[in-house]
Amino acid sequence: MNFDGVRILVVGDVMLDHYIAGQVKRISPEAPVPVVSAAKRWSVPGGAANVARNLVRLGVDVAVAGVVGQDAAANDLRAALAAEGIADGLAVSPSRRTTCKTRVLAQGQQLLRLDEEVSAPLGADEADALKKQVLSLLPGRHAVILSDYAKGVLLESASGCNLCQIIIEEARWLGIPVLVDPKGSDWRRYAGAHCVTPNAGEFDAACGLDAGLTLSRPRRETLAGELRSRYGIERLLITRGPKGMALFTPDEAPVYCRAAVREVADVSGAGDTAIATLAACVGKGLPWAESMHLANAAAGVAVGKMGTAPVSIAELNEALREQADNPKLFSVQNLVEKIEEWRRKNETVVFTNGCFDLLHPGHISLIRQSAAQGDHLIVGLNSDASVRRLKGPTRPIQNESSRALLLAALSDVDAIVLFDEDTPFELISALRPDVLVKGSDYTIDNVVGADVVQQGGGRVYLARLVDGCSTTGIVRKIDNQRDVT
């Protein structure tokens, strides 16, 4: 999965998230509060800017538009956006301060949050300046996100300028989908959007329900239909925390997906990750239901991180791989990234390969000997086409998915990667393992890829063979028994 060439605009309430981290060792003598010995300070883009940050980490070309003040926080935010490679479409207000949230952390826990902000609609000049920025950035985008944090940027201005409606109408004229992360119970400003993504509480508020009310699935679907009809919204995607997500689309059955089961470190920022991933997928042209599943996977990664930390394309691909039928089966690109992760820990990578058509004791012996040579074992598996060329038209007996699944069941195997060539030379050249393993019926001189591994400082190990074990022999024995009967 990649989002090369996708261009997205984010508009909304930008913020600066400032963190102070330290240790608590005593209680203040002045009041019953912990004393934090500050050890580290840092700042990152927050609010709508955090949505943009998530997008750029996915490989999307991003611009963000919002309003900042004439203050140090605005300078810090601009610098942070520039460092991330995010195009700056920020309008400056002489009367508003830049929204800044300062979080104090100790022992991995948040102790305090201090908010510096103005929560009010924009003035006439501010609204006009932001509108000009947005309209200049809109053409050529594949999607627009309206990120509403209820600070006033997306409310109707004092002069009557309804920025949400201006963006939605212009985007529709340009054929650009608009996705909204909403706030509040009045969604009139979002009318005509392609998709609105409330969490469960925001959905309940928009429906006029009491907080925490348990809804049956039919009741939720009815209310979702009423909301869409009331505001002319094409789709509604409800993020339901540990219960996953639900997508409601006209003339189609609702689609539900479960949340990925992960240890939750911090839910802040998960909504930003979800709508960023959803928009990236929609901008790429993926179907909405598939886009929801990808957004759900990304949100699952986000809640496992402390603070408003974005999810990278590598982390998303890893999460998708873990959710697949065979989590040990990698693409070459993803496996190269995994190997880099292992090497950062000074762990040794071992590689062996084969067809592994019918697993037998000889295969198990090879796997065990290979695994003993290092920390992580990668098995290169001949694809079905490769096996046919090597073994004949009646092989393989089991297809590549089945063979990979059986290998994945072996605890000694850490990763499996398919290759379509007759030999694994190109694969070995891409992976550059530390140890290359083949059977002792080879010599080091005729082991494919031995020169590549040795030139990189690695070594070749020749594994002991188990007498009388081969898939060809097993197939021949079965055929002979069939002939006898």
* Tens of each residue's pLDDT in the chain, 485 residues: 789 899 999 999 999 999 999 999 999 999 999 999 999 999 999 999 999 999 999 999 999 999 999 999 999 999 999 999 999 999 999 989 999 999 999 987 889 999 999 899 999 899 999 999 999 999 999 999 999 999 999 998 878 889 999 999 999 999 999 999 999 999 999 999 999 999 999 999 999 998 777 888 899 999 999 999 999 999 999 998 888 899 999 888 999 988 765 555 555 668 899 999 999 999 999 999 999 999 988 888 877 666 667 888 888 877 777 666 788 888 888 899 889 989 988 999 999 999 998 889 999 999 999 999 999 999 999 999 999 999 888 889 888 889 999 999 999 999 999 999 999 999 999 999 999 999 998 999 999 999 999 999 999 999 999 877 776 677 676 766 666 55
Per the structure block, which two tokens stand in for 396? Answer: 């393989």
| 8 Å CB contact between 164 and 131 | no
Per the structure block, which two tokens stand in for 297? Answer: 């996977």
Q: How far apart are CA 239 and CA 88, in angstroms?
A: 29
- Of 61, 272, 414, 434, the catalytic one is 272
The model's pTM is 0.70
| 8 Å CB contact between 338 and 330 | yes
Q: What is the CA radius of gyration of the chain?
A: 28
457 dihedral zone (left: phi>0; alpha: psi -120 to 50; beta) = left
pLDDT value at residue 263: 55
Nearby residues of 310 by Cβ (< 8 Å), 6 or more positions away: 50, 53, 54, 56, 57, 269, 273, 276, 302
Beta strands, E only, 49-166: 61-68, 87-92, 100-106, 109-116, 143-147
12-32: string of b/e by CB count within 10 Å (b at 16+)?
Answer: bbbbbbbbbbbebeeeeeeee
Q: How far is CA 169 from the centre of its chain?
A: 30
Beta strands, E only, 13-53: 14-27, 34-47
pLDDT value at residue 472: 66
Nearby residues of 167 by Cβ (< 8 Å), 6 or more positions away: 11, 134, 138, 144, 146, 178
Active site residue 272: yes
pLDDT value at residue 205: 92
| 8 Å CB contact between 144 and 171 | yes
pLDDT value at residue 375: 96
Q: How far apart are CA 166 and CA 145, in angstroms?
A: 13
**Amino acid, res. 352:** T
| 8 Å CB contact between 64 and 90 | yes
| 8 Å CB contact between 439 and 355 | no
**Amino acid, res. 14:** V
Per the structure block, which two tokens stand in for 241? Answer: 């925390």
Q: How far is CA 459 from the centre of its chain?
A: 36
In what order do the strands lie in the sheet containing 349-354? Answer: 329-330, 415-419, 376-382, 349-354, 435-439, 459-463
Q: How far apart are CA 230 and CA 182, in angstroms?
A: 15
Own/partner long-range contacts of 256-262 (Cβ < 8 Å, ≥24 apart): 257/292, 257/293, 257/296, 258/296, 259/296, 259/299, 259/300, 260/296, 260/297, 260/300, 260/301, 260/319, 260/323, 262/300, 262/301, 262/303, 262/304
pLDDT value at residue 216: 87
Per the structure block, which two tokens stand in for 179? Answer: 């996705």
pLDDT value at residue 483: 61
Q: How far apart are CA 453 and CA 435, in angstroms?
A: 7
